Amino acid sequence: MNRTILLWGMIGMTLLLTSCLEEGSRNYDETSVAYMATDMTSGRVYGRTLTGKFITSSEMQLMTPGSFQFLRYSWTEEYGTTPIRLGSTSTEVAHADNVVIAGDPVEIDRVSLRMDQDPPETETPAKFLSIDPPVYATDEIYLGDYWLFQYAYEAKKGESANVNFYLIDNPDAGANEITIVIDLAIGGTPEGTSVTAKTDLIALNMSALRARYEGSSTTNTKELKITFKYYMKGRDQIVDSQVYRMTVSGD
């Protein structure tokens, strides 16, 4: 999925959700990742894109809700929009653009955070070529509490790597500010002259982490300070990412 590297340069580190719709003419042709959601009233499948748009199409009705699709699509005013109710009991309605999809969408792999499992031990851990900062929403709704990572690695032709995430520091859930450490491990990356560099995307489900530390308060919050650790080619010591923050309900 080497074409994804073009997308990531347009997005930035964190998806900041402001207004998903703009007034006036909004004709566009773009490439993005979309999270597939369902109108709980009509059952219609629609996409929430990393560019902040709601989109839908006939092809999306065959896509799995909860999946991420990498796709190119276009919209003009003559295509119109479809009203989308944002919850089963909500009266709030958005308008999804009726887009035309070009080419074949690519579904992005999803993994869950391994909460109670140690990362594999090895004397020579496989290493990444690079890892971009994750793209994630400031709430758990828009992207289903997934964080998207783009990474590069080496593999033989026709082969791909497997990536997993392990919670390796599990502090007390009662503090107002909690430091979380997650190990990011890659496997299936042989060394040698026959390998080539590849780029891929993966979606990490962070809902279990939120559930473990989230309280029941409706008035106060607490902050999870999250660091990812991983091995990088050309470096002997494990690399620590910058700190990313997740806000959850307080106790």
Residues 52-110: tens digit of each pLDDT: 999 999 999 999 999 999 999 999 999 999 999 876 555 788 999 999 999 999 999 99
* pTM of the shown model: 0.86
Please report the pLDDT score of residue 12 as a whole number. Answer: 39
Question: Where does a domain end: 60, 83, 107?
Answer: 107
Please report the pLDDT score of residue 88 as a whole number. Answer: 59
Residue at token pair 């091995």: 231
Q: What's the one-letter identity of residue 64?
A: T
Assess whether 238 and 167 both reside in one domain.
yes
Residue 19 lies in a domain: no
Nearest one of 188, 173, 185, 197 to 248, comparing CA atoms = 173
Assess whether 127 and 73 both reside in one domain.
no
In the DSSP assignment, the letter for residue 59 is: G
Assess whether 135 and 62 both reside in one domain.
no
Reply yes or no on whether the pLDDT at 191 is more than 90: no
Q: Are 151 and 200 in contact (CB under 8 A)?
A: yes
Please report the pLDDT score of residue 119 as a whole number. Answer: 86
Assess whether 126 and 230 both reside in one domain.
yes
Q: Are 226 and 113 in contact (CB under 8 A)?
A: no
Q: Are 63 and 36 in contact (CB under 8 A)?
A: yes
Please report the pLDDT score of residue 5 as a whole number. Answer: 42
Please report the pLDDT score of residue 10 as a whole number. Answer: 40
Evaluate the CA torsion angle 30, 36, 37, 43 in order and state its sign: positive
Average pLDDT, the chain: 85
The average pLDDT across 17-35 equals: 70
Question: Rounded to the nearest 5°, which phi and psi values hold at 238?
Answer: -65, 145
Please report the pLDDT score of residue 2 as a whole number. Answer: 45
Assess whether 83 and 192 both reside in one domain.
no
Assess whether 239 and 169 both reside in one domain.
yes
Residue 53 lies in a domain: yes
Q: Of all residues in the chain, what percent carry a pLDDT higher than 70?
A: 85
Distance in angstroms (rounded) separating the CA atoms of residues 48 and 43: 15
Reply yes or no on whether the pLDDT at 221 is more than 70: yes
Class of residue 6 by CB neighbours under 10 A (exposed 0-12, middle 13-18, buried 19+): exposed
* Backbone region of residue 234 per phi and psi (left: phi > 0; alpha: psi in -120 to 50; beta: other values): left
Q: Are 50 and 33 in contact (CB under 8 A)?
A: yes
Nearest one of 77, 76, 28, 37 to 56, comparing CA atoms = 37
Q: What's the one-letter identity of residue 237?
A: Q
Query: Which residues constitute the domain of residue 226?
Result: 113-249
Question: Where does a domain end: 107, 128, 154?
Answer: 107
